[in-house]
Amino acid sequence: MTQDVELTRHDGVLSITLRRPGKKNAITGDMYEAMIAAFAEADRDPEIGAVLMRGSDGVFTAGNDIGDFIASAQTPTGMAAWRFVEHLASLDTPLVAAIEGLAIGIGTTLILHCDLVYAAPDAQFRMPFVDLGLVPEAGSSLLLPQRVGLARASEMLMLCESFGAEDAQRLGLVNAVVANADLYAHAAEKARMLAAKPRAAIATTRRLLRGDRPALVARMREEAQAFSRAMQSDEARQAFTSFMSRSKPAS
């Protein structure tokens, strides 16, 4: 489907690696489609007991590929990004993440859907939606206040300031901070431990911990509608134009 997403299987764990280092693993529609297919495979295959996500070359992801995202936003209800976040909400297989370097936008909101998250000391999280004239996504407007409280969630989603691995751990967004050299092995071992557990018990426990799944999906769709309207606004167009001009290499 795409060479930018690598899938490997070992000891009951399906590993998803984002491999687009030239673009800091920025996610395209094709990459979302590959991850959606991987989630479906994990839930369908009785040999898979956990999914592990990571980025390549010391970066988790710089978020959406802006050019690809703008092009696909002409039909936002069918965008792979929206279908991906709904698959996050419906995934039954435990999800583990290993975060190095940048984790921007979906790179941060995705961890709200993970069961276990391990971050390197250099991990940097940021949700810059408002700065781009947009609104939160992936259910973050619901999940983040539940996790960290309204005051801190407002700060993160409205000021759009970055925060590091230690802050993420203190806030309960990350389970542990692990040295870069040990990060993947540590996360992989935790994923293997989950995969070795009784599957039905793990799946039921996961659903009970996460609560009202229909309410989460409803919020995601509300966010998607607001996001779609924001994408058409003058302030979003100006923000995207400014971002794209900053991203172009000097001639």
Task: Inform me whether the pLDDT recorded for 171 exceeds 90.
Answer: yes
| Confidence band for 250, pLDDT divided at 50, 70 and 90 | very low
- Calculate the alpha carbon distances from 218 to 61, 203, 213, 215 in Å: 26, 22, 9, 5
Query: What pLDDT does residue 75 have?
Result: 56
Which superfamily, per CATH, for 5-181+196-247?
2-enoyl-CoA Hydratase; Chain A, domain 1 (3.90.226.10)
Query: What pLDDT does residue 236 have?
Result: 77
- Calculate the alpha carbon distances from 56 to 5, 22, 49, 59, 62 in Å: 10, 10, 23, 6, 12
Task: Inform me whether the pLDDT recorded for 70 exceeds 80.
Answer: no
Across the range 143-170, mean pLDDT stands at 97
Query: What pLDDT does residue 84 have?
Result: 95
Query: What pLDDT does residue 117 have?
Result: 98
> Under a CB-based contact definition with an 8 Å cutoff, are residues 1 and 37 in contact?
yes
Q: What share of the chain is helix, strand, coil (3-state, %, to 5)?
A: 55, 15, 30
Task: Inform me whether the pLDDT recorded for 152 exceeds 70.
Answer: yes
Q: Any idea where the domains of the chain sit in the sequence?
A: 5-181+196-247
pLDDT digit string, tens, across residues 106-121: 999 999 999 999 999 9
| Percentage, residues of the chain above pLDDT 90 | 82
Which residues are within 8 A (CB) of 43 and not within 5 positions of it... i.e. 6 or more apart? 91, 92, 93
| Confidence band for 251, pLDDT divided at 50, 70 and 90 | very low
* Lookup: tokens for 244: 């794209």
Across the range 122-132, mean pLDDT stands at 96
pTM for the model: 0.92
Query: What pLDDT does residue 161 have?
Result: 94
pLDDT digit string, tens, across residues 179-216: 999 999 999 999 999 999 999 999 999 999 998 999 99
Task: Inform me whether the pLDDT recorded for 139 exceeds 60.
Answer: yes
CA 230, distance to chain mean position in Å, is 21
